[in-house]
Amino acid sequence: MKWIFDYLKPLSKRIAVGISVKTLGTLAELLIPFLLSYILEHVIAQNEIKRIVFFGIIMALCAVTASVGNVIANRMAAKTTMMFSTQMRKNLFIKTLSLSPRSTDRFTIPSLESRITSDTYNVQNFIGMMQRMGIRAPILLLGGTVITMLMDSKLALVMLATLPLIFIVVYSISRMGVPLYTKVQQSVDGMVRVVREDAQGIRVIKALSKVDYENKRYDKANRTLRKNETRAGIIMGVVNPVMTLLMNLGIVAVVLASAYFVADKSSSATTVIAFMQYFTLISMAMMSLSRMFVMYTKCAASAKRISLVMEEENELVLCEDDDKGDKSFHVSFEDVSFSYLGKKDNLKNISFSLKKGESLGIIGATGSGKSTVLRLLMRFYDADSGTVRINGRDVRSYTSEELSAMFGVVFQNDFIYADTIEENIRFGRDIPSEDIIEAAKTAQAHDFISSFAEGYAHPVSTGGTNLSGGQRQRLLISRAIAAKPEILILDDSSSALDYKTDANLRAALGKSLPDSTVITVAQRVSSVKSCDLILVIEDGAIIGSGKHEELLESCPEYKEISDSQMGGAFLD
């Protein structure tokens, strides 16, 4: 949890002021029982009204100071906590976005979501509680103990005899809390995963009448969470009852001892009254401390999960270029092999070269490694062996900013957010409206966009659910080409388009982006047949390479795919 202090340092002055105000209010609260005892024992007996009123006013001022001080300190604590948590969540979100795909795969998206939400909430609650109770409770505990020792050391020792037992109970149970709440948060990850998957696939679930099945799947995740929360709650719930029991036993012991001491005239009734008030304050402080220990266990578990993300190192480090690349080629793969899990190669000895402005088509069965080629080119992952180059330079020698500026990309499972069509195409970039319209025309999207009453201001729902599949794909292609990228990647991005629209799109791309290198991954031969180079990939290896006519002669697998798609596949 050391990283938390790095976030609190910029707020140290504000925290110091809040602590000072809280301390002043708590000390004023501590004085009230002592003043009451003094009034009862020394002022009332003298029957001096002025002194009684004077000390009464002092008690009232102490009460007001305590109340106002606590209110001000709590308001400052709330604002400080919000500032802390806002910065923490912001940095965690930025870190999450900057994680490498391999790290993201390892953490999983649902787990990252719960860390940004519920885990940060647990840390935020603890920081807020520490500023509210973490100052008041120790002062009441220590201050009350010191004052009672000064007032009557014998009664104070009777009271203090219960404190070691309380600390032992709290410490023992709190040690069990961290692993328990870690397991609870892991269960939250599982439940978030189900919710996320069902929210994304709600239409498929309803179409296939699998609502009951998904309800059972969610119920299973919910029961697992309930089981872990119940176990943690039962164990951590022991703290308060045990503390209450020990504190009540302490009160009984103090009452019995005070009765004996008063009867023996070694103590006075007024001292006992004040003593019981201090004992109540100390009991409240101990209860607050027990709550903080419970919150600490949640915070420690969540802070550890957050720190794992924040401390995750990016394995995609910047490397020096070896100056061995052929700069006449725009994109080249040199004997590249890669494995996601380090067991079986997902790509084996991939080699090809493209000059600037040329086009590459990649075709193959599902899971053959087509999209993996693209991920290595964009450096989502680093090759295990071989070299991927752009303009003759090793992709590992480019910064992430340099690489991202080169590409326009449409993925198989791309996303659309809730905004207008224009803003979805612009995607936060400084692209004028004229270029957006031009991109939409190239992507064959202008006609359907213009058919809406609002045109490019037409609102799109999250995921583009109010658009057809073909409309979504054309909108995404418009986004990819709007900034006129150096390298355009189309990963199975025309699967929902009819053959004629697909052919028109390919012809328009050639005119609109003549200097861009275009890489197309597709299942249809018609989408790649006009490419300058076509790769046929099977089980991560290239089994055919060349132009369409050459592959029909040299690659039986390609010819089989082509023949199976003859019915309208070769529209020009």
Domain boundaries along the sequence of the chain: 10-309, 331-564
Closest to 353 measured CA to CA, from 389, 382, 403:
389
Residue 416 CA to residue 424 CA, distance in Å, equals 7
352 forms bridges with which residues in the sheet?
A: 333
Question: Which tokens in the block code for residue 166?
Answer: 């309380």
pLDDT at 570: 44
CB atoms within 10 A of CB 203: 10
Q: Is the domain 331-564 a CATH 3.60.15.10 member? A: no
pLDDT at 571: 42
Which positions of the chain have pLDDT values less than 50? 567-572
Which residue is associated with the tokens 């300190």?
Answer: 73
Question: What H or E segment, with its residue span, contains residue 357?
Answer: none
Question: How far from 113 is each of 87, 118, 194, 229, CA to CA, in Å?
Answer: 17, 8, 12, 19
Residue 186 CA to residue 115 CA, distance in Å, equals 10
pLDDT at 457: 93
The single-letter DSSP state of residue 46 is G
Residue 334 CA to residue 344 CA, distance in Å, equals 19
Q: Is 465 helix (H, G, I), strand (E, B) or coil?
A: coil
pLDDT at 566: 54
The single-letter DSSP state of residue 441 is H
Residue 145 CA to residue 139 CA, distance in Å, equals 9
Question: How far from 9 is each of 23, 74, 121, CA to CA, in Å?
Answer: 20, 19, 20
Q: Rounded to the nearest 5°, which phi and psi values hold at 286?
A: -65, -40
pLDDT at 569: 41
CA dihedral 180, 186, 191, 195 (to 10 degrees): 150
Which residue is associated with the tokens 């004229």?
Answer: 434
- Residue 449 near residue 456 (C-beta atoms within 8 A): yes
Query: Which class is domain 10-309?
Result: mainly alpha
CB atoms within 10 A of CB 535: 26
Question: Which tokens in the block code for residue 423?
Answer: 């803003």
Instruction: State the angle between helix axes of 120-151 and 12-38 in degrees (0 to 180), rounded to the nearest 10.
Output: 30
Question: Which tokens in the block code for residue 188?
Answer: 């939250």
